[in-house]
Structure 1
Amino acid sequence: MSQSFEITTESAKAAPPAIVSLMHVGGMTPADWVTILTLLYLVLQIGLLVPRYIDRFRRYWEGRRDES
């Protein structure tokens, strides 16, 4: 194997523990990061779903108004 491939492989193996260590030194535990990422995920999901539900609600009310 080439030396650059070995360096890349070993770097990829060492990256996750190094990232966790850096986050912990930065003052946040992995549990804190999981909480933040979960909240970010929820905000993104809500941001994607709310416009869809508003559109459906408007179409529903427009359909009801046309029936009257």
Structure 2
Amino acid sequence: MTKLLQEVFNKIEQLNPEIQDAIASRLLTELEDEKKWDSSFVNTTDEQWQKMADMVKQEILNGDITPLDDILEVES
């Protein structure tokens, strides 16, 4: 275990049990989500990646895109 993770666990131990369980639940959910994403990426074939890239290129050519500035807040 890393020092940083140990530090986090030490701090969590000082919290009341309800908060500890809430944090544990969120961490378990996050770990399961990471596992699913890892599995999805590992199992994606070169053909699937190419198909996705072709779809994105076609959407760009068709103008079916939303500029990032419209999605993200951009500081002036």
- Identify, as 1 or 2, the structure richer in helix: 1
Same fold (TM over 0.5): no
Q: What's the TM-score once normalised by structure 1's chain length?
A: 0.41
Larger radius of gyration: 1
Q: What's the TM-score once normalised by structure 2's chain length?
A: 0.38
